[in-house]
Amino acid sequence: MPVKSYKKYVSLFGFVAPAFVLYAVFLLIPTIGGMYYSFTDWNGLNRSYEFIGFGNFAEALSEDPDFIGSLWFTLKYVLFMIVLQNVFALALAVFIESRRRSKGFFRTVFFMPNMISTIISAFMWTFVFAQVLPQLAEKTAIAFLDQAWIGDPNVSFYSILIVSLWNGVGYMMIIYLAGLQGVPQSLKEAALIDGATPLQTFRNVTLPMITHAITICFFLTLNGAFKVFEVVYGLTGGGPGRSTQVITMNIYEEAFSNNFRYGYASAKSVILFVIILIFTFIQIRVMKKREVEA
Amino acid sequence: MKPSKTTSLLITVMLSIGAAVSFFPIYLAVINSFKTQGEMFRSFVALPTEIHFGNYADAFEKINLLGSTLNSVIISVLGIGGIVLCAALAGYKLSRTHGKLSNLIFFLFVASMLVPFHSIMIPLTRMAKSLSVQGSTYGLAIIYIGLGVNMAIFLYHGFVKSIPRELEEAAQIDGCNEFQTFFRIIFPLLVPITVTIAILDFLWIWNDFLLPLLMLTDSSDFTLILSTNTLFGEYNKDWSLILASLVLTAIPVIVIYSFFQKFIMHGIAEGAVKG
Amino acid sequence: MKKIWKGLLVTALTASMLAGCGNAGSQPGNAEGEGGAPGAAKSVKLKMFIAQPRLKEHYDKYIADFVAKEKAEKNIDVSVQLEMPTADNAAQILKTRLASNDAPDIFALHAINEIPSYYKAGYLEDLSDQPFVGKLLDSVKPSVTTTDGKVVAVPLETLSWGYLYNKTIFADLGMTPPTTITEMKAVIEKLKANHITPFVLSYKEAWIPQLVLPLAAGALINTENADFIERMNKDEGSFTEMKAMFDIFDLINANGTEKATEVGGDDGAAAFAAGKGAMWLQGPWYAETILKSNPEMDFGVAPLPINDNPEATLINLSASTSLAVSKSSGNKEVALDFINYVLDDQASGGFFQALKFNPISTVHTYDSYPWVNDATVFVKEGKSYQDPAIPQSVKDEVGKGLQAYYAGQMSQDDVLQALDKAWKSFNKVNK
């Protein structure tokens, strides 16, 4: 037994080491480094700093209304994104899957926004919201288009969603398409022959077969939405005031544009990390149970 | 599934409307890149009265198009190659090995996907500096491997589950060692997910902004996105120029995507048959 | 046994991976040419960090001249690596470089906002003994001098500003820039009577509404509240003393263009250049953008009245982009040569003129722009003050606060309280 398990370890390390070493050097160790700073009062500029235990964490959670505000705003955003992004992506994937000749065309068109860098698409949409839509409203007299799309905090939440969805749905759609292609045509046909409606077939045959894709997409959306930065940064800059500030922007502001309290900012990002960890853990737990191992 | 004619028509109409909305900003970018600044502000949505290539000529020069493209290509190719190779090995093995250690390592990889980039930025820059991989396109590619393997491992790990173990057992009986088995039998079966991973990583690396911004110092090493960003002036945004360089930046991506598209179809069909 | 093998394997793999990294990474050669062979020309690699990509060609040219001069006079082969990120990302990159012990030999920073904290953290070389110091104008010197009297940077960009006004509109209506807030109201009424929107508003970027604070605070500090900054630094003052800034801010907002939080600085410049408003709360650093949008535009700089005391209507004098030398630089001799070359007796005038910066030194004898001359008239009459040393974090806070105030989300008292809090936490962090 010892010989066998020793061999097992050698082979495990042979396969895993290349990835693990690079991962450790560029991700794991820096992450631990960041966590280490979260217990200090380092301001990112001074050479000396002190350990202050959980002081940063206590301050972030009890004395920092801006941080808490950004936390709630982010949660709201995450919720909307999880629902909308997956509904749109799955619907598109199902619809596109049912096309024959136009399949490739639609797939490309909906995936295209994903090929543009987020930061540049945010700037592009700023241009659309601030210049093009008001001009369109003027010319076409569709009053609805003439909103303060990015200047009014009530409207700009939805503008941020629009851009995020525009940018992100294609990515999820590709994963769903791959999942749908894994569903054997014979199963669907069998269900239809048995007299199931297309909707029933979808619910009872297709959905269970693509739960793995759903798990992945939920995971990616959840994780991406919690870490959203560039879209908000490019579109509203978190403003007006801090009304559209997400957590990552709050952290960024703390680390680079305020008092450069890097230790404090690190503590906030540890909090963010823990929140994402908890949410993901729950999500994976719940969904893995439903997943059918193929 | 054969939907009725009306349903089918409805779906086509809905998809077309969606496609139009989705394409609208890109349409704006393309048409306005052919206008002068003045014409652009008169009407954003109208087609250009005459095709004006001046913006492209300017953008070509200002963002050092050839050099920047080459840098982006080098970084993407090396980064993706490294990610695919390292992650396929690790993801396969972790998926096949059941045990505390294997689970722990897999958990570490997956958990790290949740780490916000801003929290590792300064420690990562220090690390890159002390290993002297900073300030070089090759060094940046290596960092991408380190940052990118986690998601790729996650995807490979899930995909490998769908490959029957009998294949490996048969290969081992034929006298292949583990690595040979992997490269001859398993890796070819991973092509569908590899293509997906390569595309996703390509989009990530090609369009990434903050990491290259921190790692590359010399403007001759800049990626396309970094070079484009230099057009966003401090007090001035020349939109027609920016849109032109945006189109130039996106062309390689679209070309590569349309090239890869056949691979996706082929790979996924293949994988579906074997799985 | 098992563990040892495991350890060896990991070490071997790690070593091979890292060796790979090393080879790949050493290509640009950070280590090269520090010493140079004896006898041959010494070669030095100088790293510079200046976040003004729009001016790259001028800097490149000046640096090339410097390299030639250094070769001719000292037989040193200088190669300069100039890093030029955009202004948005500059502070972030510079801080990351400094924090990872990768300081550029020469770097640009903001005189008022950044010098104090970078100096305190020990990154700036004392330049007080350098020849260039003697050439600085007296009005400029204070902004690059630390509280303990050391000159730590050479200023490049200096500003004299208040707000911008459309001279054509003012001349057509026979008006001159108002000197009190009551006169300002009269100007606004007259503009409105002629169907001209008085103010262009552009508050999308938080730093623009922020401008009202240095103007209002500067004016009050120079008339009735001289020790405000000192008291705030000791946690003894409060922003309620500055509540007057809302008088002018409200007046501007009530008479401005629509949808201000949608309009960025560049859009504002286009609107102002197109005559969509007669005045704009903005400094002359937008001159180039305005003229690009409308080359015929005739505009001036005037001091913003904040109350009915004409003595409080003053021009703000400050320096922004300045060049400092890193304390940890390995090439100090050459770095100092360059810093002095910035104010070189022959070359400097042409350089500053090409950059469109104001004269800052006795060696600068070129003609400046009309809007600069406008402001200089006030400065010569003594109607100016040095930009008050408000911490950057408080300025950031005021920008966000005033945006939220404009959007109706915060009251005046909320904003003032947030500012007090920001200054207190600045004091706490910078004890």
Assigned domain for C387 exists: yes
Which residue in B23, B10, B267 sits closest to A99, CA to CA? B10
From chain C, pick out residues whose CB is under 8 angstroms from the CB of A55: none
CA distance B1 to chain A (A): 7
Domains of chain B from N-terminus onward: 1-52 (no CATH), 63-274 (1.10.3720.10)
Is C330 in the same domain as C307?
no
Is C107 in the same domain as C191?
no
Alpha carbon distance A78, B207 (integer Å): 23
If you ran DSSP here, which 8-state letter would residue A291 be given?
Answer: P
Average pLDDT over residues B258-273: 53
B–C interface: beta-carbon pairs under 8 A: 91
Answer whether A264 touches B (CB < 8 Å).
no
Alpha carbon distance C192, B176 (integer Å): 88
If you ran DSSP here, which 8-state letter would residue C22 be given?
Answer: H
Q: What is the dihedral sign for C-alpha C229, C233, C237, C240?
A: positive
Alpha carbon distance C394, A53 (integer Å): 27
A100 vs C211, which has greater pLDDT? C211
Is C125 in the same domain as C197?
no
**What residue in B sits closest to C289 (Cα-Cα)?**
B236
Place of tokens 């909308």: A84
How much of chain B exceeds pLDDT 90, in percent?
21
Is C164 in the same domain as C153?
no
The CATH number for C169's domain is 3.40.190.10
Q: Which residues contact B211 (CB under 8 A, 6 or more apart)?
A: B117, B140, B143, B144, B147
Residue type, A20: F
User: Which subunits sit against C, judged by 3+ Cβ pairs under 8 A?
Assistant: A, B
- Rg (C-alpha) for chain B, rounded Å, is 23
Is C106 in the same domain as C137?
yes
Which residue in C207, C211, C209 sits closest to C87, CA to CA? C207
Arithmetic mean of pLDDT over chain A = 85
3-state helix, strand, coil in chain A (%, to 5): 80, 0, 20
Using CB atoms, which residue from C26, C52, C288 is nearest to B132? C26
3-state helix, strand, coil in chain C (%, to 5): 50, 15, 35
C36 vs C90, which has greater pLDDT? C90
Bridge-based pairing of strands C321-325 and C158-161 is unpaired
Say what the pLDDT of residue C19 is.
Answer: 36
How large is the angle between the packed helices A2-23 and B100-112, nearest 10 degrees? Answer: 10
What DSSP line would sit under C342-384, residue for residue?
HT-TTHHHHHHHHHTPPP-BTT--S---HHHHHHHHHHHTT-E
State whether C288 and B236 contact (CB < 8 Å).
Answer: yes
Q: In what order do the strands lie in the sheet with C163-166?
A: C199-200, C279-280, C163-166, C299-302
User: Which subunits sit against B, judged by 3+ Cβ pairs under 8 A?
Assistant: A, C
Q: Three-state SS for C53?
A: helix
C89 vs C298, which has greater pLDDT? C298
Is C102 in the same domain as C198?
no
Does the structure's ipTM exceed the value 0.90? no
Six token digits for residue B137 = 């396109």
Using CB atoms, which residue from A9, A25, A237 is nearest to C205? A237
Q: Cα dist. C189→C164, C184, C298 in Å?
A: 18, 9, 22
The domain in which residue C267 lies consists of: 160-317+374-429
Q: In what order do the strands lie in the sheet with C384-386?
A: C158-161, C315-319, C384-386
Whether this model's pTM surpasses 0.90: no
Is C203 in the same domain as C334?
no
Q: What is the dihedral sign for C-alpha B73, B74, B75, B76?
A: positive
CA distance A38 to chain C (A): 15
CA distance C14 to chain A (A): 6
Contact residues, C window 210-269, toward A, CB-based 8 Å cutoff = 259-264, 267
Question: Do the beta carbons of residue C402 and residue C248 sit within 8 Å?
Answer: no
Say what the pLDDT of residue C8 is.
Answer: 43
Total number of domains constituting chain C: 2
C70 vs A254, which has greater pLDDT? C70
Contact residues, C window 381-400, toward A, CB-based 8 Å cutoff = 391-393, 396, 400
Question: Do the beta carbons of residue C260 and residue C203 sit within 8 Å?
Answer: yes
Alpha carbon distance B269, C380 (integer Å): 80
Is C151 in the same domain as C248?
no
Say what the pLDDT of residue B263 is.
Answer: 62
CA distance A237 to chain B (A): 15
Last residue in a domain, options C328, C343, C358: C343
CA distance B65 to chain A (A): 17
From chain B, pick out residues whose CB is under 8 angstroms from the CB of C266: 235-237
Assigned domain for C125 exists: yes
Q: What is the CATH number of domain A65-290?
A: 1.10.3720.10
State whether B85 and A11 contact (CB < 8 Å).
Answer: no
State whether A30 and B127 contact (CB < 8 Å).
Answer: yes
Is C313 in the same domain as C381?
yes
Average pLDDT over residues C148-166: 92
Assess whether pLDDT exceeds 90 at residue B6: no
Answer whether A108 touches B (CB < 8 Å).
yes
Arithmetic mean of pLDDT over chain C = 85
Assigned domain for C17 exists: no
Assigned domain for C262 exists: yes
Six token digits for residue C186 = 């009269």
Assigned domain for C379 exists: yes
Residue type, C254: A
Assess whether pLDDT exceeds 70 at residue C9: no
If you ran DSSP here, which 8-state letter would residue C264 be given?
Answer: -
**What residue in B sits closest to A108 (Cα-Cα)?**
B258
Say what the pLDDT of residue C36 is.
Answer: 40
Six token digits for residue B23 = 């394409």
Sequence ranges of the domains in chain A: 65-290
Question: Do the beta carbons of residue B139 and residue B215 sit within 8 Å?
Answer: yes
Assigned domain for C270 exists: yes
If you ran DSSP here, which 8-state letter would residue C307 be given?
Answer: S
3-state helix, strand, coil in chain B (%, to 5): 80, 0, 20
Is C275 in the same domain as C336?
no
Question: Do the beta carbons of residue C33 and residue C79 sit within 8 Å?
Answer: yes
Contact residues, B window 132-171, toward A, CB-based 8 Å cutoff = 142-143, 145-147, 149-150, 153, 155, 158, 161-162
Answer whether C47 touches B (CB < 8 Å).
yes
